[in-house]
Chain A
Amino acid sequence: MKKLLWGLADGNNFYASCERLFRPDLIKKPIAILSNNDGCIIARSEELKALGVKMGTPKFKINEEIKNGTIIPFSSNYELYGELHNRLMHTLSRFTPDIEIYSIDESWLLFENFNYNMTDYAEHIVAETFKLVGTPISLGIAPTKTLAKVANKLAKKDKQSKGAKVLQTEDEIKEALSVFPVQDLWGVGRSKFKALTQLNIKTALEFSQLPGEWVRKNFSITGFRTWQELRGFPCHQLLEETSSKDAIATGRTFGKLLTDYDSIKEALVNHAVSCSQKLRKQKSYASYVNIRIETNRFRDDLPRYVNTFTARLLQPTNNSVTIAKTTIEALDKIFKKGIFYNRCSVTLLGLSDELTGMQESLFEQHDRGKSKTLMSILDQVNIRYGKNTLKIATQGNGKSWALRNEHQSPKYLTQLDDFINITLG
């Protein structure tokens, strides 16, 4: 019989750990990672959580602590986090061939017929991954995904666990579930939690012992699956490949309010180019370009203006130049003078695959071969020599609309000038 075990590996305070890899002086210090444009907190170190600072707290509320050095802020550095994420996934795939990337810092591992002592193996995975990549992870292993998630949480909580926890035997599972709060379970929402409280069901174990008929009647299919998974019947499978997105969007809030046409055009074209790149990466074509420009909704003293425009492309394309041109045409339709804009975005819609749904336009003779070559050169140069080495003239130099990211750390792993400097100590 096949013996299946699921593992959930995730980075411990992943973004903060990425920053600490190159700044070990920040170990044990409260770190706040800020959203694009330094708006609010999107990730926290354990020490920051202990200070009671919540997720989503606007930056200005911790300005005082930043000034006096109690909280260390970082603008999000996705070049760094993305590279370390790739390294984590690559390293984890050495330990099992079946792996599913779940988010930037979480992945599912499937262990099929592994005849190891799984606790030893899990501890080995955790230790090796830290040794190789430099950011710590936790790993929970169990017969189903839901139980693996429980095991992962226990591995994090228990400081003696070496970052790994395996729930394999019936006794181990029962013991773990008997102290696991039911509201922390995957798939138990707030409303269901209320219903369970009324029945005096507090732990995951009590939930798993409810009669199946009752759970099926009173819960959604997700809740029922959770119940089944707690009892050791796997319902969630490994997703081999995530399906392509059905829309691609890029948008930013400007560093300051903008009123001139050229700066907004430049920002939009940059978003259009970055969307087109994503499009080519997933080998699709877009049929529509949607743009949106808007003023700051918190500024009551200024006139409010929000407008969007969706332009149809003459034929599905992933050519940056065509998409940028259409973006400008769309802007011309809705741009109003004398307005203070603070945000714009581009969304590509109506995506189709390379092979399906490609209808040639009657009016525009397009040399698709030529366009493909041009775009592939654009992408190759930019991959080799860095983002935006080669760009369309309307992309400009991004001075006026650039992001506010005054606390950004160097791109240690991806930029020549940002590599660490070593001295003879």
Chain B
Amino acid sequence: MKNFKSNSQEASKTPENGRTSGFPSPAADYLAVNIDLNELLIPNPSSHIKAWLQIDKKKYLVIIDRALPLKEGCKVIFWENGQWCLKIYRILSKEVWLYSLKDKNAPIKLEKNEVHTLLGRVAKLILMNP
């Protein structure tokens, strides 16, 4: 019996029931590098947090990475009114303001000591049901 192990290495091999007429695949030499989605999407496993975001009918997987520096215009996750919210991080005359993506909601000023209410910066936003 063969071990059950599905990975990209298996998938990138020429299928056994495929076109094999005694000629080796010309692509065989170029298939050495495998794509690991974990590595691509989560470069810092020890500082990442996964979350769900639902906007209307669209469902996103959110990868938050606490290792990423907070920069003007980046998306962050902030605790407000008992829930985690997506906000835009803005630096305006040395003050940090968090803007809502909804126009009607007023921006909030982030105080320096509010280290616990900022979960981290959004690193990836993946649409799960395109």
**Inter-chain contact A420/B85, CB cutoff 8 Å:** no
- State A370–B2 Cα separation when bound (angstroms): 10
**Inter-chain contact A421/B49, CB cutoff 8 Å:** no
Enumerate chain B residues within 8 angstroms of A20, measured Cβ to Cβ: 116
Contacts across chains A and B counted by CB atoms under 8 Å: 88
- State A373–B52 Cα separation when bound (angstroms): 36
Enumerate chain A residues within 8 angstroms of B77, measured Cβ to Cβ: 422
**Inter-chain contact B116/A24, CB cutoff 8 Å:** yes
The one of A91, A130, A133, A422 in contact with B86, judged by C-beta atoms closer than 8 angstroms, is A422
The one of A132, A134, A420 in contact with B51, judged by C-beta atoms closer than 8 angstroms, is A420
A-side residues, CB < 8 A to B, are 20-21, 24-25, 27, 86-87, 90-91, 130-134, 370, 373, 376-377, 380-381, 412-413, 419-425
- State A131–B115 Cα separation when bound (angstroms): 9
**Nearest opposing residue in chain B for A413, CB measure:** B49
Q: A24-B117, A425-B78 are in contact. Are A376 and B3 (CB under 8 A)?
A: yes
Interface residues in B66-108 (C-beta closer than 8 Å to A): 66-67, 77-87, 100-102, 105
Least distance between B55 CB and chain A CB atoms (Å): 6
**Inter-chain contact A133/B79, CB cutoff 8 Å:** no
Most buried by B among A130, A132, A133, A425: A425
Least distance between B62 CB and chain A CB atoms (Å): 6
**Inter-chain contact B4/A380, CB cutoff 8 Å:** yes
- List 14 additional A-B contacts (Cβ < 8 Å) besides A131-B67, A134-B66, A421-B51: A130-B115, A133-B46, A373-B3, A376-B3, A380-B3, A381-B4, A412-B49, A419-B51, A420-B84, A422-B52, A425-B81, A425-B86, A425-B87, A425-B100
Total residues of chain B contacting the partner, CB 8 A: 38
Q: A91-B47, A132-B46, A373-B3 are in contact. Are A421 and B117 (CB under 8 A)?
A: no
Least distance between A380 CB and chain B CB atoms (Å): 7
The one of A87, A373, A425 in contact with B105, judged by C-beta atoms closer than 8 angstroms, is A425
**Inter-chain contact A423/B85, CB cutoff 8 Å:** yes
**Inter-chain contact A425/B85, CB cutoff 8 Å:** yes
Tell whether B50 is near chain A: CB-to-CB under 8 Å: yes
Least distance between B11 CB and chain A CB atoms (Å): 16
Q: A133-B46, A373-B3 are in contact. Are A422 and B85 (CB under 8 A)?
A: yes
- State A101–B54 Cα separation when bound (angstroms): 39
Least distance between A368 CB and chain B CB atoms (Å): 14
Enumerate chain A residues within 8 angstroms of B80, measured Cβ to Cβ: 425
Task: Pick 23 A–B contacts, CB within 8 A, sort by A.
Answer: A24-B117, A87-B45, A90-B46, A91-B46, A131-B67, A132-B46, A132-B66, A133-B46, A133-B47, A134-B66, A373-B3, A380-B4, A380-B5, A381-B4, A420-B49, A421-B54, A422-B52, A422-B62, A422-B84, A423-B53, A423-B83, A425-B83, A425-B87
Q: A27-B116, A373-B3 are in contact. Are A132 and B67 (CB under 8 A)?
A: yes
- State A143–B45 Cα separation when bound (angstroms): 33
**Inter-chain contact B1/A370, CB cutoff 8 Å:** yes
**Inter-chain contact B3/A419, CB cutoff 8 Å:** no
- State A303–B43 Cα separation when bound (angstroms): 58
Least distance between A194 CB and chain B CB atoms (Å): 43
**Inter-chain contact A424/B116, CB cutoff 8 Å:** no
Least distance between A25 CB and chain B CB atoms (Å): 6
**Nearest opposing residue in chain A for B77, CB measure:** A422
Enumerate chain B residues within 8 angstroms of A413, measured Cβ to Cβ: 49-50
Most buried by B among A25, A86, A413: A25
User: Digit string of B12-29 for contact with A (CB within 8 Å is 1, else 0)?
Assistant: 000000000000000000
